[in-house]
């Protein structure tokens, strides 16, 4: 156990140091995730002219929560795995006594820690510019949000890493992610809260993994009522499904790997 803990800490410290080297680029990455802030302005204007069940302040808080969720759950593993497989760089990782996926997990966690100061700075700037939206979540909501956003990251990572394994069969596995991202963009709550969707559409969307990646944790942080039991069961179910599919595809994909690309 002590050896495992030491290995984990070493991985995290190494990848954190690696990410800090790109701290100037991290600012651009944080700003690149500012789409929720843009959509906030759109929906605030719409709420002032129509009836959506949410006030302009509710929309401001929701999209700020979406921005925060995105800072914790952004994933890029498919491009890294695709590069390793296509260029044959995966060979060195396979020689190590640890699954290559843990390198990517550590890189993502290290990047989270490195980007956090910039994210907090933007959140503070938001409250300065829009003080009406200031709110303090209850301790229970904060703890619940921490758990749910962790599950959301695991689910998002499991989905994208599963797609990345198709690099063993095609050199453009990221095309799958690009197609998936269209649905993720519109059905996850990034463009609009699920509460403004028509009831029949919302019912169908709740059976997909998309709303549990953004809308569900953002709603918990803001205090919008959600079905916690259904949300947790859905997240755990999708995580187990993609993890199982991931391991099955990984074993089959390795049989095709030649060391010089797929």
Q: State the chain's mean pLDDT as an integer.
A: 87
Q: CB count, 10 Å around CB of 10?
A: 11
Q: Assess contact for 176 and 166: CB atoms under 8 A.
A: yes
- Judged against a pLDDT cut of 60, whether residue 261 lies above it is answered with no
Which of 145, 137, 138 shows the shortest CA–CA distance to 226? Answer: 145
Q: State the pLDDT at residue 28.
A: 67
Coil, strand, or helix at residue 251?
helix
pLDDT at 73 over 60: yes
CB 242 within 8 Å of CB 159: yes
pLDDT of residue 231: 95
Q: Rounded to whole angstroms, what are the CA distances from 31 to 25, 94, 157, 168?
A: 10, 35, 21, 33
Please give the pLDDT value at position 262.
Answer: 47
% of the chain with per-residue pLDDT over 90 = 47
Please give the average per-residue pLDDT across 58-82, as a whole number: 92
Is 50 exceeded by the pLDDT of residue 30? Answer: yes
Asked whether the beta carbons of 187 and 211 are under 8 A apart, the reply is yes
223 torsion bin: left (phi>0), alpha (psi -120 to 50), beta (else): left
Tens of pLDDT, residue by residue over 167-211, are 999 888 899 999 999 999 999 999 888 888 888 999 999 999 999
pLDDT value of residue 212: 96
* Of 20 and 57, more confident: 57
Is the Cβ–Cβ distance between 257 and 85 less than 8 Å?
A: yes
Q: Judge whether 262 and 168 are in contact, CB under 8 Å.
A: yes
161 and 82 Cβ atoms separated by less than 8 Å: no
Q: Which whole number is the average pLDDT over 113-137?
A: 86
Q: 202 or 33: whose pLDDT is higher?
A: 202
What is the per-residue pLDDT for 192?
A: 87
């Amino acid at each position: 156990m002590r050896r495992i803990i030491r290995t984990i800490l070493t991985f995290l410290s190494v990848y954190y140091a690696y990410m800090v080297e790109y701290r100037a680029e991290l600012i651009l990455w944080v700003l690149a995730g500012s789409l929720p802030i843009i959509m906030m302005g759109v929906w605030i204007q719409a709420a002032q002219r129509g009836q959506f069940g949410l006030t302009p302040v509710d929309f401001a808080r929701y999209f700020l929560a979406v921005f925060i969720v995105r800072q914790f759950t952004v994933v890029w593993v498919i491009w890294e795995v695709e590069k390793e497989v296509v260029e044959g760089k995966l060979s060195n990782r396979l020689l190590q006594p640890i699954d290559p996926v843990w390198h990517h997990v550590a890189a993502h966690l290290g990047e989270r820690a490195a980007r956090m100061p910039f994210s907090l700075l933007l959140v503070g700037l938001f409250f300065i510019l829009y003080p009406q939206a200031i709110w303090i979540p209850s301790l229970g909501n904060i703890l619940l949000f921490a758990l749910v956003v962790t599950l959301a990251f695991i689910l998002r990572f499991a989905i994208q890493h599963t797609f990345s394994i198709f690099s063993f069969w095609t050199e453009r596995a990221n095309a799958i992610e690009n197609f998936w991202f269209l649905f993720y963009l519109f059905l996850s709550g990034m463009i609009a809260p699920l509460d403004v969707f028509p009831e029949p559409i919302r019912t169908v969307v709740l059976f997909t993994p998309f709303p549990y990646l953004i809308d569900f944790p953002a709603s918990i942080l803001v205090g919008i009522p959600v079905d916690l039991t259904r949300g947790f069961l859905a997240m755990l179910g999708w995580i187990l499904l993609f993890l199982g599919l991931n391991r099955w595809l990984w074993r089959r994909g390795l049989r095709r790997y030649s060391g010089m690309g797929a």
